[in-house]
């Protein structure tokens, strides 16, 4: 048996020569082949899909019909041209259609999750059916407009922005993350955040957005690996998953299921990490599916490490560890980089005061609202109550002043030692926020003093001073607190009534300092007089 082709068989074969993108190909087919078979053969030789629109042209530009009677050629090759523009147009149309359908599905999932969460809040007596009915009665023109405590956030927009962050950092391309899987992952993450006043998906988004900003501000793309950036972004998204609105202290004192499960060791943070990997464990949400098992294991370890680092009980430990490495910091040392990543996620987690006052102050109200909900429950259950969470003992300025002065500024100054560009963008706003709350505190104290020492005239026309009892004072509520008035006294406020906000701030600080100096001088003078009298 020979390997050659018989003369009769070879007579039924036809040979043509093609030129595809400068490369020549030889194609042999039977004269009895169908036009479809010949086109498939030519598509294979050209390296394009069999379903692509294809034209065969001679060297003079004439179109050649693809059929069994296709003329043979030798030196003068045929040229294959795929109609790429038409194909691209069709693909673009299909992509837009798929994306539109995906957004519809996401919106439906959001509505379903919101309904489930509202039912859960009703079950926990955080929202009553009567309140919803009363709200509906006041909105007869639009029965769909039911506001519970705050407007429902635009989840779709936030999810799209997070997806854009992954795209901008090159994470989707570098780790071959399927865009549909990423969207499903983000939707699942959003659905596992509760509608707490503070620890909700909007907070998760703000933390993630701050991390994205720091990555660009500090040029971390050139200093850290892409895997480090993936870990940082994903840990931010997952760091408060399924937060119940009551902190670790409550969990431990009340011996909740989470505290028992995690042996009182960072129960909330352990729970956040567990929920994160429950979501990632679902095949249609696994954004790490195309990575090696070894890389997946490493990513899991680092995400868990970063989420656990957000426990404020470990603040001093993590800060001191980072301090010890600053003088000899090495971006090629894994231990040093891990320490930096823990500092970064901590900065982002508590970064609200870095933002403009019109953004940060409502967040402070939300946090106090959540604190007060916890302290009210602790009182009803006979558990210890932290003073900074007690609505009868804390005010917004006093709560924020201490936190900014002793936690935020030192933390960001530590980061600034490694990245000097942090100072003007983040530390300066923190100092401005501190000054703003100081002014608010002084103003509140002046108002309280004026109210306590109010002077009135009795029936005999005599002036007397009356003290207000503590029971007659209105309880401070973050949702009822008004805008702080500038200065301390009416005279100081009148000084800059018509000035712009910046001038008001500067002159308020100056006036308050002068007023304090005058008070100190008066006290000193009175003390001297008393000594002389004695």
Summarize the annotated binding site for AMP as residue ranges: 199-203, 240, 349, 400
> What is the rounded distance in angstroms from the CA atom of residue 317 to the CA atom of residue 493?
45
Just list the catalytic residues.
Answer: 199
Cα 523 to Cα 149, 219, 449, 529, distances in angstroms: 48, 54, 17, 10
Output the known binding site. 199-203, 239-240, 349, 400
Q: What length is written for the chain? A: 534
**345 and 376 in contact (C-beta within 8 Å)?**
no
| DSSP state at residue 28 | E
| Residue 279, phi then psi, degrees to nearest 5 | -65, -50
What 3-state class would DSSP assign to 258?
helix
Taking the C-alpha atoms of residue 432 and residue 437, their distance in angstroms, rounded to an integer, is 9
**Beta-bridge mates of residue 457:** 463
**Spatial distance between the Cα atoms of 364 and 223, rounded to a whole number of angstroms:** 34
List all residues 6 or more positions away from 322 whose beta carbon is below 8 Å from its beta carbon.
339, 340, 342, 343, 414
Closest CA to 176 of 288, 77, 315, 20: 288
For tokens 């009915």, the residue is 133
Instruction: Collapse the DSSP code of 29 into the 3-class scheme (helix H, G, I; strand E, B; otherwise coil) and give the result.
Output: strand
- Would you list which residues are annotated within the binding site for Zn(2+)? 203, 239-240, 349
Place of tokens 């100096």: 517
Give the three-state DSSP class for 123.
helix
């Amino acid at each position: 048996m020979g390997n050659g082709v018989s003369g009769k068989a070879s007579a039924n074969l036809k040979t043509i020569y093609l030129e595809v993108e400068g490369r020549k190909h030889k194609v042999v087919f039977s004269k009895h082949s169908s036009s479809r078979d010949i086109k498939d053969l030519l598509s294979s030789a050209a390296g394009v899909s069999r379903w692509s629109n294809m034209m065969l042209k001679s060297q003079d530009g004439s179109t050649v019909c693809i059929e069994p009677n296709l003329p043979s050629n030798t030196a003068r090759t045929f040229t294959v041209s795929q109609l790429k523009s038409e194909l691209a147009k069709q693909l673009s149309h299909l992509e837009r259609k798929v994306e539109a359908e995906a957004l519809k599905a996401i919106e439906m999932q959001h509505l379903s999750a919101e309904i489930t969460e509202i039912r859960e809040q009703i079950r926990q007596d955080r929202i009553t059916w009567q309140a919803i009915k009363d709200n509906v009665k006041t909105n007869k023109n639009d029965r769909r407009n039911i506001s519970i405590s705050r407007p429902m956030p635009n989840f779709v927009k936030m999810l799209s922005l997070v997806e854009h962050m992954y795209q901008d950092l090159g994470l989707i391309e570098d780790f071959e993350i399927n865009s549909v899987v990423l969207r499903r992952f983000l939707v699942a993450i959003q659905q596992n955040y509760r509608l707490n006043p503070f620890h909700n998906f909007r907070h998760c988004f703000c933390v993630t957005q701050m991390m994205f900003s720091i990555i660009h501000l500090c040029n971390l793309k050139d200093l850290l690996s892409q895997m480090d950036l993936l870990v940082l972004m994903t840990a931010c998204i997952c760091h408060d998953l399924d937060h119940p609105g009551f902190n670790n202290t409550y969990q431990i004192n009340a011996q909740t299921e989470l505290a028992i499960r995690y042996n009182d060791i960072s129960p909330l943070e352990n729970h956040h990490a567990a929920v994160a990997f429950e979501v990632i464990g679902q095949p249609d949400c696994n954004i790490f599916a195309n990575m090696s098992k070894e890389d997946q294991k490493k990513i899991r370890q680092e995400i868990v490490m970063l989420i656990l680092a957000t426990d404020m009980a470990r603040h001093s430990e993590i800060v001191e560890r980072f301090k010890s490495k600053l003088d000899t910091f090495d971006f090629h040392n894994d231990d040093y980089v891990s320490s930096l990543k823990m500092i970064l996620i901590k900065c982002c987690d508590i970064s609200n005061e870095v933002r403009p006052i019109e953004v940060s102050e409502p967040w402070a109200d939300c946090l106090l609202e959540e604190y007060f909900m916890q302290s009210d429950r602790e009182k009803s259950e006979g558990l210890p109550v932290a003073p900074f969470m007690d609505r009868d003992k804390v005010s917004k300025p006093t709560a924020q002043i201490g936190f900014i002065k002793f936690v935020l500024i030192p933390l960001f100054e530590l980061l600034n030692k490694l990245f000097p560009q942090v100072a003007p963008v983040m530390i300066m706003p923190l100092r401005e926020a501190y000054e703003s709350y100081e002014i608010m505190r002084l103003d509140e104290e002046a108002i309280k003093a004026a109210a306590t020492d109010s002077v009135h005239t009795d029936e005999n026309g005599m002036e007397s001073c009356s003290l207000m009892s503590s029971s007659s004072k209105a309880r401070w509520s973050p949702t009822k607190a008004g805008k702080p008035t500038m200065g301390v006294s009416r005279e100081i406020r009148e000084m800059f009534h018509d000035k712009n906000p910046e001038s008001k701030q500067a002159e308020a600080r100056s006036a308050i300092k002068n007023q304090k100096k005058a008070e100190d001088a008066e006290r000193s003078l009175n003390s001297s007089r008393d000594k002389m009298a004695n």
